[in-house]
């Protein structure tokens, strides 16, 4: 099991409200990145958002030592050759710590950048983009001519510095998206679905990948609300729920209006754009709450409960075939510490470098003879 955190604005105790939003600047990103690096997370997702993920990630390399940077990229907004050059440079400078999350997007977000393609055409573009990108990342020359991309004699002047080429991650629920993943991707991501739904999708993508002679890893993006007991966790849900007013819900609905994202429609179906009186009515699976989807686009499901409950839910996903979890809570900084202290000791994590030494406690200090160094 690998656990990643999140490194993208907005943030705060309730970032869908003005009073609950936190200023997210470079100093704050440094704090969150250092926490991720120190606490033993495998890395963090730098998603599409207000800040450019490449500049953000590159600026944080010298402030971290072991965390991996999962950086969102969008085919069609940049040349695959230039993107490969950026990724290999990052890979060299970070000593092999960059991963690429391929985001095909939807017509709403991409239209603002001047890219106007229908749903399946975007995935055709992603297919061509990855046919160019993958060999370039592996330090191979490329000539390619497709419907959307024409590349002549592409070759990078630098290599990965002896580190493995950056792996490719990808999410998408439609048939077109699953086919692209099956052909090109190393890790396939889902959004906030229940373990049975995740198992069903994993089986579909596995079958597609087998036809191409490939094997994939599988991951999922979720929120987490963990407290010392189940009762305290649901009290925290109640506090969040009280801030989800009509204005916040309406803002999210406006943002999604006209979206052709299949994944987003699957998320919206979990809460039906309705806010019931009791937040527990949005518990869609034991310990899984769909309420965050009312006010946040994208993955809107949270694991809720005590450390034991959270571990049990993570294990249910693991039994369904999920190996990688991208988690977050509100606010990012405090909840990273909370999750690492309450849940991570219970998990057998696949971290490639040594875990930080958390053996020091104040009790250890008081147990030593006066003047003895820690």
- Whole-number Å distance between alpha carbons of 48 and 73: 8
Instruction: Indicate whether 296 belongs to any domain.
Output: no
Span 242-290, pLDDT tens digits: 999 989 888 887 776 666 555 556 655 665 677 999 999 999 999 999 9
Enter the tokens of residue 190: 């889902």
Instruction: Indicate whether 135 belongs to any domain.
Output: yes
What is the count of structural domains for the chain? 1
Q: What pLDDT is attached to residue 223? A: 98
Span 307-328, pLDDT tens digits: 999 999 999 999 999 999 999 9
Instruction: Indicate whether 157 belongs to any domain.
Output: yes
Expressed as residue numbers, the domain containing 176 is 2-223+307-346
CATH code of the domain covering residue 61: 3.20.20.30
202 or 110, higher pLDDT: 202
Q: What pLDDT is attached to residue 371? A: 40
Instruction: Indicate whether 271 belongs to any domain.
Output: no
Instruction: Indicate whether 138 belongs to any domain.
Output: yes
Is the alpha carbon torsion for 254, 255, 259, 263 positive or negative? negative
> In the predicted model, what is the mean pLDDT of the chain?
90
| The model's pTM | 0.89
Closest CA relative to residue 102, chosen from 169, 165, 4: 169
Q: What pLDDT is attached to residue 79? A: 96
Flag whether pLDDT at 363 surpasses 70: no
Instruction: Indicate whether 146 belongs to any domain.
Output: yes
Instruction: Indicate whether 322 belongs to any domain.
Output: yes
Closest CA relative to residue 151, chosen from 83, 104, 101: 83
Span 23-36, pLDDT tens digits: 999 999 999 999 99
**For 140-145, what is the mean pLDDT?**
97
- Whole-number Å distance between alpha carbons of 108 and 331: 27
Q: What pLDDT is attached to residue 202? A: 97
Flag whether pLDDT at 18 surpasses 90: yes
Given pLDDT bands bounded at 50, 70 and 90, which one contains residue 167?
Answer: very high
Instruction: Evaluate whether 314 touches 3 at the Cβ level (below 8 Å).
Output: no
Instruction: Indicate whether 374 belongs to any domain.
Output: no
């Amino acid at each position: 099991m690998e656990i990643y955190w999140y490194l993208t604005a907005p943030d705060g105790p309730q970032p869908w409200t003005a009073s609950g939003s936190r200023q997210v600047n470079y100093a704050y990103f440094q704090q969150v990145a250092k926490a991720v690096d120190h606490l033993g997370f495998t890395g963090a997702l730098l998603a599409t958002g207000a800040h450019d993920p490449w500049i953000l990630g590159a600026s944080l390399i010298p402030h971290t030592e072991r965390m991996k940077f999962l950086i969102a990229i969008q085919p069609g907004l940049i040349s695959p050759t230039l993107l490969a050059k950026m990724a290999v440079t990052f890979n060299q400078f970070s000593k092999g710590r960059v991963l690429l999350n391929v985001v095909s997007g939807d017509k709403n977000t991409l239209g603002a950048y001047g890219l106007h393609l229908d749903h399946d055409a975007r995935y055709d573009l992603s297919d061509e983009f990855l046919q160019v990108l993958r060999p370039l990342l592996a330090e191979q020359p490329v000539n390619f001519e497709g419907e959307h991309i024409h590349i002549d004699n592409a070759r990078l002047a630098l290599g990965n510095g002896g580190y493995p080429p950056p792996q490719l991650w990808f999410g998408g629920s439609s048939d077109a998206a699953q086919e692209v993943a099956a052909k090109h991707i190393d890790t396939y991501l889902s959004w906030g679905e229940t373990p049975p739904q995740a198992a069903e999708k994993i089986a579909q993508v596995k079958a597609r990948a087998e036809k191409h002679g490939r094997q994939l890893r599988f991951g999922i993006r979720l929120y987490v609300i963990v407290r010392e007991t189940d009762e305290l966790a649901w009290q925290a849900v109640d506090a969040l729920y009280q801030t989800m007013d009509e204005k916040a819900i309406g803002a999210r609905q406006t943002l999604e209006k006209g979206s052709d994202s299949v994944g987003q429609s699957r998320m919206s179906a979990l809460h039906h754009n309705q806010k019931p009186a009791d937040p527990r009515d949005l518990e869609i699976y034991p310990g899984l709450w769909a309420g965050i989807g009312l006010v946040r686009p994208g993955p809107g499901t949270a694991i809720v409960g005590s450390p034991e409950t959270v571990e049990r839910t993570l294990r249910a996903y693991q039994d369904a075939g999920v190996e990688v979890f991208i988690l977050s809570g509100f606010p990012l900084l405090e909840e990273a510490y909370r999750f690492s202290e309450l849940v991570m000791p219970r998990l057998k994590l696949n971290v490639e470098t040594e875990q930080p030494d958390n053996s020091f406690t104040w009790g250890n200090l008081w147990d030593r003879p006066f003047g003895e160094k820690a």
